[in-house]
Amino acid sequence: MPSVHTVTYSLLRRQGITTVFGNPGSNELPFLKGFPEDFRYVLGLHEGVVAGMADGYALASGRPAFVNLHAAAGTGNAMGALTNAWYSHSPLVITAGQQARSMIGVESMLANVEAPQLPKPLVKWSYEPACPEDVPRALSQAIHSASLPPRGPVYVSIPHDDWDREADDDAELVAEREIDHAGVPSPAQLERLAQRLNAADNPVLVLGPEVDARQANGLAVELAERLRLPVWVAPSASRCPFPNRHPCFRGVLPAAISGITAQLEGHDLIVVIGAPVFRYHKYAPGRYLPEGARLVHVTGDANEAARAPMGDALVGDVHATLEALLPHIVQSERSMPEPLPRPAPAEDGEGRLAPANVFDMLDALAPEDAIYVKESTSTVEIFWERVAMREPGSYFFPAAGGLGFGLPAALGVQLAQPQRQVIGVIGDGSASYAITALWSAAQYRIPVVLLILRNDTYGALRGFARHMAVDDAPGLDVPGIDFCALARGYGVEARLADSRQALETALREGFAMDRPLLIEVPTLPT
């Protein structure tokens, strides 16, 4: 009979999962023994980087990404990155090596006691097989659980002495399984939603990351154009679900109760598609809805529908729902919204560029189908105003706000989308959380362009300090970091761009390279 090891690799191969992101320890070595030639192992020097690369890979590919962590310590190191994966509905299949079964009870070194409890509540499902023969079935369940809506990370702890054990006669059956999801609303449900949209005097559309994840962007554009709706992106945007130069585009809603209500004032129907209602951040209380407004929520996540504090909800696949809804929508006679005005250039400082001018340069030089992985949290609004995002899958941002996402996620996205140019736009505070990702970029010659915006401070935190009237907090500045030197130390070429000319030269060079380039840009604080 085949071994658990053999059946597992057969399962992964059949499911199209042939890339493993990991940082191995002793518990993981038996799984990696005889690593197949048709598989690819991507090494990260810290488990947070490993999970971040896998997160980017899963988001950009739309497929489950396989993660191999080291016991409890490695799982703990990855928990910050796991927070972002959870809130972005990223289908990560996370495995962790466990001590030999006979050694767990005595709590020997590297025993992960009560292993399934460790990653909760940041996983959809967590499990440790009760016997070696159950490992292939458990991994099959993990893959399908991660992939079924709402997508999300899962976790399996596997004792290292399970891999050489014989599997059951029927173990190969798990590799043959296929599970399809169908989530189309009924005709009556679609008709009710269409009636509300067609009858509304001043409706507005709010789109979220699920639209982009389900590749329903074009359908959202068609809906907006047919009804001539203003379109907002839901607050705390982790993806771009609608082209931000389209005439209907209004911007990204603020992540505050009162701010959202103010922006949506005057609309009688608010239709939220593919986003939570809502991902608030700043504490700015107020009314949840403008006076006289009603809200309808379309989502593939039943939990998001259940916890919303207002409005009606329709749970179903976002792409299938929009596709089935459009034939019921009547062409509106309203005027098409006017495009947003383009902002003027900003003034640079001495040896420091204004972020607005950095983004204008990026917009002018980057390929039209470029993918941006953004983790400069203090420049989000400026970026959305100045950088065009036209294609699906063009923007990724940490969904939970946990720092350390940008550098490794940019590598994972580039591995998943080698035909498109990936550009990481990373703040200096964020980059420091996952700087070892540069080693992986160099070793695997991942041709990503990494812009490090160095303003020597935690810019977003300074904004919150102003909002919360805390003007004397320590620890808000991070001066003295030489990112060019760090990059070269890890094997990545680097350029300092302290003028517009130097930035233009570096960007053109980076876009023509077949290996990574880091560009350090001293910037003014926002």
**Local confidence band at 468 (pLDDT 50, 70, 90 cut-offs):** low
Residues noted as catalytic: 25-26, 28, 47, 70, 281, 401
pLDDT at 180: 85
Give residue-wise pLDDT tens across range 192-251: 999 999 999 999 999 999 999 999 999 999 999 999 999 999 999 999 999 999 999 999
Q: How far is CA 169 from the centre of its chain?
A: 39
Integer Rg of the chain from CA? 24
What are the residue boundaries of the structural domains of the chain, listed by start? 4-176, 187-328, 355-522
pLDDT at 472: 65
Q: Identify the CA nearest to 49 among candidates 90, 88, 81.
A: 81
Within 10 A of 180 (CB to CB), how many other CB atoms are there? Answer: 5
With a CB cutoff of 8 Å and minimum separation 6, the contacts of 512 are none
Residue 398 sits at φ, ψ, to 5 deg, of -60, 115
Kindly report the CA angle at 168 between 165 and 170, in degrees rounded to 5? 145
Give residue-wise pLDDT tens across range 268-305: 999 999 999 999 988 889 999 999 999 999 999 999 99
Helix, strand, coil share of the chain (percent; to 5): 40, 20, 40
Q: What is the mean pLDDT of residues 14-38?
A: 96
Name the CATH topology of 355-522: Rossmann fold (3.40.50)
Give residue-wise pLDDT tens across range 101-133: 988 888 988 888 899 999 999 999 999 999 999
Q: Is 7 exposed, middle or buried (0-12, 13-18, 19+ CB in 10 A)?
A: buried
Across the beta sheet with 449-454, what order do the strands follow?
395-396, 371-375, 422-427, 449-454, 517-522, 493-496
The percent of residues above 70 in pLDDT, for the chain, comes to 96
Question: E strand or H helix at 62, and its extent?
Answer: none
Residue 278 sits at φ, ψ, to 5 deg, of -125, 170
pLDDT at 464: 59
Q: Which CATH class is domain 187-328?
A: alpha beta
| pLDDT beyond 80 at 476 | no
Say which CATH architecture domain 4-176 belongs to. Answer: 3-Layer(aba) Sandwich (3.40)
Give how far Cα 353 sits from Cα of 357, 359, 385, 469, 480, Å: 7, 10, 17, 28, 18
pLDDT at 181: 86
| pLDDT beyond 60 at 462 | no
pLDDT at 465: 55
pLDDT at 401: 82
Q: Is 424 within 8 Å of 406 (Cβ atoms)? A: yes
Give residue-wise pLDDT tens across range 382-404: 999 999 999 999 999 999 988 99
Give residue-wise pLDDT tens across range 167-182: 987 888 888 888 888 8
Q: What is the mean pLDDT of residues 91-99?
A: 96
pLDDT at 153: 98
Distance from C-alpha of 198 to C-alpha of 192, rounded to nearest angstrom: 10
**Local confidence band at 461 (pLDDT 50, 70, 90 cut-offs):** low
**Local confidence band at 306 (pLDDT 50, 70, 90 cut-offs):** very high
Q: Is 161 exposed, middle or buried (0-12, 13-18, 19+ CB in 10 A)?
A: middle
Please tell me the pTM assigned to this model. Answer: 0.95
Distance from C-alpha of 323 to C-alpha of 405, rounded to nearest angstrom: 33
Query: Residues 83-99, buried b or exposed e (16+ Cβ, 10 A)?
Result: bbbbbbbbbbbbbbbbb
Q: What is the mean pLDDT of residues 404-416?
A: 98
pLDDT at 526: 84
**Local confidence band at 1 (pLDDT 50, 70, 90 cut-offs):** confident
Q: Chain-wide mean pLDDT for the chain?
A: 94
With a CB cutoff of 8 Å and minimum separation 6, the contacts of 219 are 319, 322, 323, 326
pLDDT at 466: 64
pLDDT at 201: 96
Q: What is the mean pLDDT of residues 148-162?
A: 96
Q: Please write down the HEC assignment for all residues of 190-221.
A: HHHHHHHHHHCCCEEEEECHHHHHCCCHHHHH
pLDDT at 458: 66
